[in-house]
Structure 1
């Protein structure tokens, strides 16, 4: 291959060629190498083979020089990545240089040839990945810390195990709901109407409403508001307006001229309300934590006609709204507090469990068995699930993803047999059930009472 064709081949591969002639002490840069490095094309003084090192970043120069001197002294080829300040415009770029020494007839170093490539984009992507991983690690630890505090504070203020499990799982669900919205918006925040829909949309159809101007909240404010609405909702389901069919909850919000927002919670049509004689963690969370997290305040009033709450958030709670925000469809999502209203019996029913997380599968098996169901499985892999489909099955609980593989083949087979199923999944899909199936969805984390209630509803509707 002649020199011109070699140059074209190297350029096509994103490489530039250079050569150092030791006898003439010349550094010869090809046009492609000049475009990559900003150094002048053609011959220039070699400075003993060190000419190009003038542009190496000072922090990288010691390593580059050590590798170069050692390998050339031993007559070995080498490759090294380093930062370079371009000679033409001063931009900082990443380069990868591969050099092979050229020995003369006497075995002494006569020069070197090499190729250079630009790694700037690759290095930037790597740095972004590392930054994202560090941010993810930070957020996971924050979530785990919040989960730990919720568990501790809920346990301190709960007198029974059943009460602890119900209260704690509900609060955990609220955190997961907020996290799902934040993830959909790439953690830039969440729309306030989506937060309200996620907490109220699946409860007592026709008994809840929410309205207000379009607002986008920061991740911190979104988490705080989700927990606050969950506490208010739980109280309304247990003791307030949502504990009877005639009750109603209206949530509205405004945006003051000074910024932030003011949200009002109003219950009506429920039983007569009295001020609680005992303060639980929910009250503490609402009155102390929520206000501080929103850079504002929270005021709760226990009026005889119904609970009223006012959540005031400072300007720092509101974030710029992205160009597009994923929509939410909460009507098919089974909520903890709704499912926990009454225990459900599954006596005599055969329920298939498909779940790749062994601990969750065992918990589902135990819970559904205690509810009276005959468990088929659990199946942890797609092939296991497909092999169980020839057995008698009345209903199924499906995880959406099995070790990276979609559960769709199982759902399709069940649908052909008119076997109802519920999705119990950690995947947040804004368009309803995974795969577009007409099936209820239980978002992880969940408790077994939710699953039992959903399966009972499916069997009761047949």
Structure 2
């Protein structure tokens, strides 16, 4: 009897030891699971603003932590698609859901989203399926990041590229016109080469101004100064006066070419071809209308030419069109006068 009691005692002690060991192992595993869960949660929170859980067929959003980006959901939400996704992107989201479910694959998409503040933003959303023991999807765990700023930057870059391409085409068209018309009227290839080089240099100086201004706008004072730079020898006889007015890119290019043509003609035949002549350059803006004047005085007697050359047509027709206005040259005996009227795009 005594031996039976001893055996029972040993058995009980062994069972207790096993229970304690199992309990310690269970506690260890619970701690490990809690630690892994915390690490997983920290990883998600450090890499995204939104965390969510949704059922197998994506019909009910179980819970969502929006992180201040989109509204939270703590209970089942069967209207999540209408509440969170703008109508224009709902079909995109539905298509990706269908694909992910059929393939039992990661849901991954960039889409617009309705934000907490009532505005529309962009989210990068990823969700992975959780499977049961039979390999069927039980639910999905997902995370999303606010990519609104990135999408805005990408859009701005596309707009900039399109604008640069447009301006490049306009510039090349202008270069083609300058080259073709100059060669057509040149008395020799050398004369044409020199004239083309000078006109393209004027174009390049204006382009430099636009590049420094990020192609947004160019101050007319800077455009005038750059166009007159090759004629610094006569700077003391050129009076420039006018307020700051911003010009669009094509307007800056056109005005630069006009000033180049006027200054070149003045140096060769007009007010800057002698020692007494003067040039007055003034401009102003009244009720949104720009008036730009080039007035020569004190130079040789001016005779109205029987035929207008490319330079004159460029000044009057092309430049005037850039300002949706008019350019006019008057060959008055006392000196050439040019007036440009129009509307700068920034006014």
TM-score w.r.t. the length of structure 2 is 0.78
1:300 and 2:334 correspond = no
Structure with larger Rg: 2
Distance in structure 2 (CA, Å) of the matches to 1:319 and 1:285: 23
Deviation at 1:187, TM superposition (A): 2.7
Moved over 6 A (4+): none
Q: Given the superposition, is the C-alpha separation of residues 206 and 231 from structure 1 closer, same or farther in structure 2, using an over 3 Å criterion?
A: closer
The match for 2:22 is none
Cα offset, 1:134, TM superposition? 0.7
1:222 has 2:252 as partner: yes
Report the equivalent of 1:317: 344
Counterpart contact for 1:253–1:264, Cα < 8 Å: yes
Structure number with the higher helix fraction is 2
Contact 1:247–1:267 under 8 Å retained in 2: no
Taking structure 1 as reference, are residues 99 and 6 closer, same or farther at Cα in structure 2, changes over 3 Å only? same
Residue 100 of structure 1: how far off its partner (Å):
0.8
Matching of residues 164-175 of structure 1 within 5 Å: 164-175=192-203
1:283-432 paired onto structure 2 within 5 Å: 283-294=312-323, 295-303=325-333, 305=334, 307-314=335-342, 316-317=343-344, 319-320=346-347
Assess, with a 3 A threshold, how the Cα gap between structure 1 residues 193 and 71 changes in structure 2: closer, same or farther: closer
Could you say which residue in structure 2 is the equivalent of 1:125?
153
Measure the CA separation in 2 of the matches of 1:251 and 1:57: 59
Contact in 2 for aligned 1:207/1:242 (Cα 8 Å): no
Q: Which residue is 1:201 aligned to?
A: 229
Counterpart-to-counterpart distance in 1, 2:105 and 2:283: 72
Superposition deviation, residue 230 in structure 1: 0.7
Contact 1:14 1:117 in 2 (8 A): yes
Deviation at 1:207, TM superposition (A): 4.3
**Runs of 5+ unmatched residues, structure 1:** 321-462
Q: Is the 8 A contact 1:190 1:222 kept in 2?
A: yes
Determine the C-alpha separation between the residues in 1 that align with 2:132 and 2:285: 81
2:209 aligned with 1:176, yes or no? Answer: no
1:280 and 2:305 aligned: no
Counterpart CA distance in 1 for 2:91 and 2:162 is: 29
Q: Secondary structure at the match of 2:313?
A: helix
**The residue matched to 1:151 in structure 2 has which SS?**
helix
User: Which residue does the alignment assign to 1:435?
Assistant: none
Q: From the superposition, tell whether residues 268 and 116 of structure 1 become closer, same or farther in structure 2 (CA, over 3 Å).
A: same
Match of 1:78 among 104, 107, 110: 107
Scaled by the length of structure 1, the TM-score of the pair is 0.60
Contact 2:271–2:279 (Cα < 8 Å) also in 1: no
Structure 1 residue matching 2:346: 3-state secondary structure: coil
2:273 is the alignment partner of 1:239: no
Question: Which of the numbers 274, 282, 304 marks the counterpart of 1:253?
Answer: 282
Mapping of 1:440-455 within 5 angstroms?
Answer: none
Quote the Cα distance in structure 1 between the aligned partners of 2:56 and 2:327. 76
In 1, Cα distance between equivalents of 2:235 and 2:88: 66
Higher mean C-alpha displacement, 249-258 vs 174-183:
249-258
Structure 2 residue aligned with 1:13: 47
Whole-angstrom CA distance in 1 between matches of 2:194 and 2:256 = 17
Q: Distance in 2 between matches of 1:259 and 1:108?
A: 70
1:266 and 2:295 aligned: yes
Q: Structure 1 CA distance, aligned partners of 2:308 and 2:37?
A: 85
1:44 aligns with 2:71: no
Query: Aligned partners of 1:126, 1:18: CA distance in 2, in Å?
Result: 27
Unaligned runs of 5+ in 2: 1-34
CA deviation map 1:90-147 (0-9, x unaligned)? 4222111111111111222211111111111111111111111111111111111111
Say which of 111, 118, 121 aligns to 1:93.
Answer: 121
| Contact kept in structure 1, 2:302 and 2:336, CA below 8 Å | no
User: Alpha carbon RMSD of aligned pairs, Å?
Assistant: 2.7
Question: Quick one: structure 1 residues 293 and 309, their matched pair in 2 at CA, closer, same or farther if it must change by over 3 Å?
Answer: farther
Instruction: Give secondary structure in 2 for the equivalent of 1:38.
Output: coil
